Amino acid sequence: MLFTPLTTLFFLVPLSTALDQFRHGVILEYADASGLTKRDNIVDHVARSLPGVKLKHRMDLSSDRIFHGASFRVTETAGHVDDNLLRRALTQYRDVITVYPLDVVQLQVQPTFDDSRGAAVRPRDVAQGAGAEADHVARARVPDQTSTRTRARKHRPREDAGLTDSGAGTGNSSASGLYVNYGTEGSPLVNPHASTGVDRLHAEQLTGRGVRIALLDSGIDAFHPALGGGYGPGFKVYGGADLTGESLDDPNSSVYTPGSSPLTQCENHGTGTASVAAGLPYHFGFVGVAPNASIEMYKVMKCRATTVHSDVGVKASIMAFDSGVDVISMSIGGPGGWSNSAWAIVLERIIAQGTLVIVSAGNFGAKGPWIANGIAGGFDTPNVASAGGPYSPTLIANGSYSVNGGPPIPMQYVPGYPANWSSSVEVLYAPNFTGCAPMPDLGAKPNQVILLQSPWTPQNADITCSTNLSDTALGSGLKNMILYMKHDETPDQPVPIDLLDGLLYALDGMATMSRSLALQLVQHAAQGDKVTLNLPWRPDGPETRMLSMAKNTVSGGRPSYFTSWGPSYETKLGPAVMAPGGMSLVLSGRMLGGLDVASGTSFSTPYIAGVAALVKQVNPGLSPADVVNRIAAAARPAPMASWRDDPVPGGLLAPTFQQGAGMIDAYAAVHATVVLNVSSLAFNDTAHLKPLSFEICNLGTQAVDVHIAHAPAATVYSFAPGHIKVKAYREDDFVAQNVVDKPASLTFAGSATLDIHLAAGQNYTVTVAAVPPAGLDAARLPLLSGFVNMTTSAGDVLTLPYGIIGEPLVDVHNLDPQKTFLTYDSLWDEFDNGWVPFTNSSQSIVLPQKVPADPTTLYNTSLPGWTFVTVFGSRLLQVHLIRNDTGEDLGQVALLPGSDSGSPAKKVVDTWIRNERSFGQWAGQLLQSDGTTAAAPNGTYRFSIQLLKVSGNPQKPGDFDEVLTDPFRVEMV
């Protein structure tokens, strides 16, 4: 579940530089491998072109069939440098053919309410209350899982290392009888794969044997018994690499020291994702989707980091491809919408060479549509949405409490990490403190614990205070903390929150408990009673944990509230398919207890990677597109819900922009005999709407009849009435205001339905025409979608999702006029609002008539500039100079000499997505028709900030969105 803006993180950077899109560095693509030998030449070339600017080579990125290039970071600037100056210097170098920003993207960590790392599970996600059935609780002893000194015997996976004929689906990992596993007679547990058909494939001995899966993630605890108990040739986890090292110093910094192996227990994420794809049977019936598949892990993050630099991702992707794996799984990405980042392009090339890549959709669903994952921007790169599972698991520990030395009273709680509790801890009473402000030094003792209300209010789905625990824990003397929810719908059920944050703040113990229990304990403490807790469970101890499986009648089978929506700005629908990702039982590192409950598209993604491995096991010759087409066609569309998981009136199906083809049916995907040649139909916007075709093929030995019909989904407006910003899905009135039952109409050869007969081996081309309904408000950018449903006489059902953008994208505004304004480089307010407006039009700004040969010396000159925030995507910015008195357009400004981006034969990747802030500065020069620059005359001007609309033609002035700044006066000397 990893993610951040994929194009680039737009935090404005004051200092002696105006680098924006290149502030993290650059990735250069060379014409051929010879460029790899000239890294020092490029560094020297930039230093000569921009005195005072120093580049440092980061890493080479090269594969004969994929990419030749390298990445560099800016280590020093002495003077005024902006993106245009740097890109000009780079594109002038003869061996460089493309310049990409070096992006920073996020691991898809546990989704959170404010889109930052932290506790992420809402009370309703445990799916109890009025809609829940009785809990199924299995009490099973979990022995010590933390010893790292016992090295498992090297072995190659045997036929009985995973699921065997006698144990298929049972998950029996011991003969001791201590473990309760599904499949055991009388067991109350439920096979988590029953809702996806994976259990039926396991029963047929299809377990991914012989298939190799690579994961790009945070590393892996390969010595976990359910991951093979070792690392290297002959083990389940047989290879990979550590590209980042394990340093704890500034984990998100760009400085890496690669390690010798991808092994780690510092981070859980990679262990969890690998286990979903290919984990061996373990306690409580856990088993991965393809338990006999082999694993490579490419560690692309340092310990406790939440971000990935795109050059590291590119290098790891290339390494995985070159190693010859069958499937690459990435739970990484960020809001994007374009397909032209270096990483996205590399993934498309890898897929074109025959290796399947699966990428997570992302955990930014709360933001609404138009938030597609950028590194999966290519049309051939499938990304995966998350759905709620049929059951919500919780790992509960037993404990007890006593009041004033009385007898122990049994209680349950959910351990966080760490869980190094004293033998007993005393509740510290802190009246009126909820964790929403820095805590004073309470003089807390190591054996005291404070109970804090979790700072999220489900009633208004908003952040009521910071979720960062640092201000609360650090400096207060606290060593132990227990959280409880403000509104707990399940008083007798602990809220399952993944609490790794305690490790960051030097706590000894962290946990959650039910609201009702916490309030009882707080009330006792408020009365002056001495309340003592006994919390015996530790990851390295023999104490019992229990697995509670609550029937999920709320969100089971529907899109998870956090799963990111499409479409992309290039009209890709978004996710290809859904898989279980909400409240999943996964493996954790042994030192953290061996098991965990986690949510996010990070876990739906390896689920599909595992399904792909099962498909490849049966059909090893399938291309990546063939595999994705089968998986998508076998999916089952799901109904829509609000962000709070309330059903949408009328039972409307969720938009394909949110769920793709629907929930995976792995059994149908593996055994499909009628297949399609596409996974979706993207009809584009209404300005480009035309019929599309697909092929349906009968691979079976018997003829079949196929009935084709239309199943519409909910139509969703992107904007609220009268607004130009995309409305957030998390807003309470999203469904009432933005969801309508006005679907498009589909026809097949002119009819509402179509019946065809397919002989064995026969193909048939189906042409689909779409017509939007009357009465939609096109200015609100409606998103229409649904499914082409195909039912065969053999009982098979195939699904083909489609999407239509209900307004020409060339009509959609992309500039926020309230946040687009004139500024001045001395008006940076680092600790407040960033750039602030410059409104003194009577003050003359003095600029040089001739820009010096070394333009970086302009650092000593205050320059006029602008800043803007996007409300939609764009691929081109132009800034024109307008006379204030006459309105005459003097033409396009040159930010600094060479702002034409260098040689026109070179490609510079430069795009914007919604909700990005950008800025620029002007040294008084105007671009001339011959590519040279000339000084503007003295006068009073406005900047015309122009962003090309998504499908706009750069040659048409009307295809740009425009905002005029306030006037300013310049004097050229």
Residue 125's pLDDT band (cuts 50, 70, 90): very low
Token output for 303:
């310990």
223 three-class SS? coil
Look at the alpha carbons of 22, 24, 29, 35 in this order and tell me if their dihedral is positive or negative: positive
Q: Which residue has the higher pLDDT, 770 or 906?
A: 770
749 vs 553: CA distance, rounded Å:
40
Query: DSSP class of residue 538?
Result: -
Residues 6+ apart with CB under 8 A from 236: 157, 161, 222, 227, 228, 230, 278, 280, 294, 295
Token output for 934:
């000339």
Q: Which residue has the higher pLDDT, 912 or 454?
A: 912
Q: Which residue has the higher pLDDT, 306 or 79?
A: 306
Residue 132's pLDDT band (cuts 50, 70, 90): very low
> Residue 596: beta bridge partners?
586
Would you say residue 144 has pLDDT above 70?
no
Task: List, for residues 100-112, the tens digit of each pLDDT value.
Answer: 999 988 766 554 3
Domain spans in the chain, listed from the N-terminal domain onward: 26-101, 392-548, 669-810, 817-972
So what CATH class is 669-810?
A: mainly beta
Catalytic residue among 49, 310, 560, 602: 602
Question: Given this model, what pLDDT does residue 415 score?
Answer: 86
392-548 carries CATH number 3.50.30.30? yes
- Percentage of the chain beyond pLDDT 70 is 78
Token output for 965:
């700044």
Catalytic residue among 193, 269, 283, 880: 269
Task: List, for residues 807-829, the tens digit of each pLDDT value.
Answer: 999 999 999 999 998 887 544 44
Residues 389-402 have a mean pLDDT of 88
Question: Given this model, what pLDDT does residue 49 score?
Answer: 83
Residue 836's pLDDT band (cuts 50, 70, 90): low
- Strands across the sheet containing 67-76: 54-63, 67-76, 26-30, 96-101, 907-908
633 vs 631: CA distance, rounded Å:
6
Q: Where are the alpha helices (DSSP H) in 204-357?
A: 269-278, 310-323, 342-352
Residue 11's pLDDT band (cuts 50, 70, 90): very low
23 vs 39: CA distance, rounded Å:
19
Contact 920, 910 (CB under 8 A): no
What is the rounded average pLDDT for all residues in the chain? Answer: 82
Question: Given this model, what pLDDT does residue 191 score?
Answer: 79
So what CATH class is 817-972?
A: mainly beta
Residue 128's pLDDT band (cuts 50, 70, 90): very low
Residues 652-660 have a mean pLDDT of 98
Task: List, for residues 501-529, the tens digit of each pLDDT value.
Answer: 555 567 888 888 888 899 999 999 999 99
Task: List, for residues 698-722, the tens digit of each pLDDT value.
Answer: 999 999 999 999 999 999 999 999 9
Backbone angles phi, psi at 226, to 5 degrees: -85, 0
Contact 18, 50 (CB under 8 A): no
Backbone angles phi, psi at 819, to 5 degrees: -125, 25
Would the CATH topology of 669-810 be identical to that of 817-972? Answer: yes
269 annotated active-site: yes
- Strands across the sheet containing 356-360: 237-242, 294-299, 212-217, 327-330, 356-360, 383-388, 577-582
Residues 614-637 have a mean pLDDT of 98
Residue 466's pLDDT band (cuts 50, 70, 90): very low
602 annotated active-site: yes
Token output for 191:
């096979």
Task: List, for residues 241-275, the tens digit of each pLDDT value.
Answer: 999 988 766 666 777 889 999 999 888 899 999 99
Catalytic residue among 217, 326, 501, 685: 217
Backbone angles phi, psi at 972, to 5 degrees: -90, 130
Residues 398-422 have a mean pLDDT of 90
Query: DSSP class of residue 547?
Result: E
Residues 556-584 have a mean pLDDT of 95
Residues 331-355 have a mean pLDDT of 95
707 annotated active-site: no
User: DSSP strand E in 226-326: where?
Assistant: 237-242, 294-299, 307-309
Residues 565-576 have a mean pLDDT of 97
224 vs 146: CA distance, rounded Å:
9
User: Whose CA is closest to 423, among 265, 299, 538?
Assistant: 538
Task: List, for residues 206-235, the tens digit of each pLDDT value.
Answer: 999 999 999 999 999 999 999 999 999 999
Contact 572, 379 (CB under 8 A): yes
Would you say residue 613 has pLDDT above 60?
yes
Question: Given this model, what pLDDT does residue 688 score?
Answer: 97
Residues 396-410 have a mean pLDDT of 94
∠ Cα 372 392 655 (to 5°): 30
User: Whose CA is closest to 215, among 272, 140, 156, 137?
Assistant: 272
Contact 94, 21 (CB under 8 A): no
Q: Which residue has the higher pLDDT, 261 or 34?
A: 261
Predicted TM-score (pTM) of the model is 0.88
> Could you count the other beta carbons within 10 Å of the beta carbon of residue 890?
15
Reported residue count of the chain is 973
Q: Which residue has the higher pLDDT, 854 or 770?
A: 770
Question: Given this model, what pLDDT does residue 174 score?
Answer: 28
Task: List, for residues 147-198, the tens digit of each pLDDT value.
Answer: 332 223 233 333 333 444 323 332 322 222 222 333 333 344 567 899 999 9
Question: Given this model, what pLDDT does residue 501 score?
Answer: 55
Asked if residue 418 has a cis previous peptide bond (ω within 30° of 0), the answer is: yes
Would you say residue 840 has pLDDT above 70?
no
> Could you count the other beta carbons within 10 Å of the beta carbon of residue 897?
17
Q: β-strand 595-598 against 584-587: which pairing, if any?
A: antiparallel
Q: β-strand 704-712 against 754-758: which pairing, if any?
A: antiparallel
Question: Given this model, what pLDDT does residue 9 score?
Answer: 24
- Percentage of the chain beyond pLDDT 90 is 55
